[in-house]
Amino acid sequence: MPVPCGSKCGRNAFMRRPKTGDVLCKDCFFLAFETEIHNTIQQEQLFRSGEKVAIAASGGKDSTVLAHVMSVLNDRYKYGLNLVLLSIDEGITGYRDDSLKTVAQNRDDYGMPLRVLSYQELYGWTMDRIVAEIGRSNNCTFCGVFRRQALDRGARLMEVDCVATGHNADDIAETVIMNILRGDTARLRRCCDIKTGSKEADTIPRVKPLKYSYEKEIVMYAHFKKLVYFSTECVFAPNAYRGHARAFLKDLEKVRPSAIMDIIHAGEQLQIKGTVKKPVRGICGRCGFVSSQQPCKACVLLEGLNRGLPKLGIGKRSKGDRMVALQDQQLREKARLVKNDF
Annotated binding-site positions for ATP = 56-58, 62, 88, 166, 171
Cis peptide before 295 (omega within 30 of 0): yes
Q: Say whether 228 sits in a helix, a strand or coil.
A: coil
- Annotated binding-site residues read 56-58, 62, 88, 166, 171
Burial 289-316 (b: 16+ CB within 10 A, else e): bbbeeeebbbbbbbbbbeeebbbbbbee
Q: Among the residues of 10-126, which ranges form H helices?
A: 26-44, 61-76, 96-110, 119-123
Handedness of CA 314, 317, 319, 320 (dihedral sign): positive
d(CA 242, CA 47): 30
d(CA 138, CA 206): 26
Longest Cα–Cα distance in the chain? 95
Nearest to 25 by CA among 8, 44, 45, 5: 5
Q: What are phi and psi of 60, to 5 degrees?
A: -80, 180
